[in-house]
Amino acid sequence: MAAASDKARFFLEQSIPELKEYERKGIFSAEEITSIARKRSDFEHKINARGSTPADFARYAEFEINVDALRRKRVKRLGVKSTTHNGKRRIFFVFDRGTRKHPGDIGLWMEAIDFARKQRAYKKLQEMLTQILRLHPTKSDLWIHAAQYAMEDNGDITEARSYMQRGLRFCRGSKAMWLEYARLEMSYIAKIHLRREVLGITTGKPDRPGQIEQSDTDENLLRLPRLTALDISPNSESDNADHSALQRLESTPALSGAIPIAIFDAAIDHFRDPRFGLDFCQMLLDYDGIPACRKVADHVAAFLSREYPQSWCTQACHIQLPLVSIPYDSPDFPSALRDMLARLKEARSGSETPELVGWAKSSLEKLLQTPDLDPAIRVVAESVIKSLGGPAST
């Protein structure tokens, strides 16, 4: 117990210059300084004791986060130019001590990682990710989290792929890992596709500045000129675009869907489970207007039809195939939904299974939850749900 008290006293003495500076600059009053010191003393004695838990470190870090947030607000209000001490450094120090003492507690690690992401402390975050992945290489959620950080925060698809590929060496039996790897690649394709649309880069005939859509023949619609790259940079009109180069770029594995197809082939070869194929198809429904998405879905449906023709998962994948890459607000969606319902009717007339009916009801109920859904489509979906033997959710 004496050793714990000595440790607590040592760490408390290190914070004295910080508290004196806050009092000298008027950031905190003497009473508030006393209260902060007392709370820190309680936490230090608790975490240095033999029976300390990860929750003790988490509460200590939460207290320091609140103190630092109050400090920053008062510094801004009082116009204090700068302070020698940084509250974030102390918070990271608490997390470091906690993860060293309890390296097996994933929750404490994730709290530290989330705090580092919010503070944009990328160097510290990278260190934490490296440490936790070394300690827990068989936790698929950690590899997925690291890949999402690399893609969303850094925009680095190479680093994200590296995390996924390294993670699959340790978590080859995780279906979520394979699905998230494919989702990562589809998200990358979607971002590139959106960027090319904004810049007016297409493989077909280039749009002229101020060109008006000719497909909208409804006289009640106000047709506006389409904004293209030529509107943004008129000088680029003289540059002859190399359309053959654009076509070659479109056919690269990164954009054509070859990588998600390869991921599916490797995963289905490992699992040999048609349910994984259905989960893969349903993941593709999250991406609208991506040409490569339909190519991937066709490949998955063809494989399931060839290898598992009697499985209800194969039927479900075949039924929802018309909806792939079709947004809910697209003019093509009603006809796609009609094709889907026709396939559902055909499947039910053949060999109806409870699993297929349950899946169909769940899919249509999810459709009803779509905001601003066309009333006619809503009526059709509710009618089909009733015919499947269940009340339509509103």
Residue 163 near residue 146, CB atoms below 8 Å? yes
Q: Which string of DSSP letters, residue by residue, matches 312-355? A: HHHHHHHHHGGGTB--TTSTTHHHHHHHHHHHHHHHHHHH--HH
pLDDT score recorded for residue 210: 46
Question: Which is it for the CA torsion 336, 342, 347, 348, positive or negative?
Answer: positive
Q: Amino acid letter at 362?
A: S
Orientation angle between helical segments 106-118 and 54-78, nearest 10 degrees: 10
Measured CA to CA, the distance from residue 178 to residue 212 in angstroms comes to 43
pLDDT score recorded for residue 195: 84
By C-alpha distance, which of 260, 273, 258, 248 is closest to 181? 260
Q: How many residues does the chain have?
A: 394
**Residue 199 corresponds to which tokens in the numbers above?**
């810049």
HSE of 142 in the Cβ direction (CA atoms, 13 Å)?
A: 26
Cβ-based neighbour number of residue 360 at 10 Å: 24
Residue 113 near residue 135, CB atoms below 8 Å? no
Residue 289 near residue 211, CB atoms below 8 Å? no
- The full set of domain ranges for the chain reads 1-102, 122-167, 175-203+252-325, 341-394
Low-confidence ranges of the chain (pLDDT < 50): 204-218, 227, 229-230, 232, 236-241, 394
Helix (H, G, I), strand (E, B) or coil at 273: coil
